[in-house]
Amino acid sequence: MTWERTWHWLIDRIDEYEAHAYAYQHARYFGRTKFQVVEILETAKFGKMLILDGKIQSAALDEHIFHETLVHPAMLMHPNPRRVCIIGGGEGATLREILRYPAVEEAVMVDLDEEIVALCREHLPEWHRGAFEDPRVRLLHEDGRVFLREEPGDFDVVVLDITDPVTADFGPETYRVIRSRLREPGILALQALELNLGDWEDHAAIRRALRPILPHCRSYSTYIPSFRAEWGFLVVAATREVLYPSSSLLEDRFAARLGRAAAAAGGLRFYSPQIHGRLFTLPEDLRDQLEAA
């Protein structure tokens, strides 16, 4: 028996020109919710991997890179984030990172797919680490856009942790609703698709949709091994200054807000004030493309 026959293969098709193959031993779960096809695979290189509608969402080896990068820049840029809303985030890992901040009084997580949240709670405990049981959490299963239109209260930070197709479908109307729920100096943080010289157009399209509503926008990125890509993120606000804290202010906030809390929760494994600068340092050729788009 050859080595290849001992594995199954997940083929992640990026576009018509590119695909990546991942060896996996077995499926921990395969099924369909009301909204999407769900696979939880035990892969050879990345450990457990969550796949929705054939697209990789996160993997045990590096989910902390994605979720720490998504959450902490916005939470440290904001002067006092007390009320936070997460749209999506079914694994509970974005929620986990938000709850590291003792000053957060309420974290509202709105994920349309109740079944996927239940599956993640059962099969991916390393992701959420009990975050759903925190008394500060309000978990809702409805359309996040409807929730934001109808929710009477405002938020300091809104985090979009949604699948790629939903991210691409969001447009000015949705961003206006989010803007209406942000109290100054509120910040929107979102995962924003691939961001490298070969794949940047979709990221640029999100920036264009946001600019008329939340004009101050910073792109940043990091490499996610299980995605095999440099992945893009955005922090967006109506006030420019909030997105540009000095390095000394960032370090002071990190120590004050996360020093003990991060250690007690197992510690951050990727993000730090030092890595913050690297995240926001884009190469000149890519910066030129984004500025011209």
Considering only CA atoms, give the Rg of the chain: 19
Residues 205, 181, 83, 171: what is their CA dihedral angle, to the nearest 10 degrees? -20
Residues 123, 63, 138, 159: what is their CA dihedral angle, to the nearest 10 degrees? -150
Q: Tell me which of 161, 164, 199, 288 is the catalytic residue.
A: 161
Q: Between vectors from CA 127 to CA 156 and to CA 109, what angle results, nearest 5°?
A: 30
Instruction: Check if 161 is active-site.
Output: yes
How many whole angstroms separate alpha carbon 216 and alpha carbon 243? Answer: 8
Q: Phi then psi for 23, rounded to 5 degrees?
A: -80, 135
CB contact burial 103-127 (16+ within 10 A = b; e otherwise): ebeebbbbbbbbbbbebbbebbeeb
What is the helix (H) or strand (E) element at residue 253, kind and residue range? helix 247-264
Task: Tell the burial category of 98 from Cβ atoms under 10 Å away from its Cβ (0-12, 13-18, 19+).
Answer: buried
Active-site positions read 161
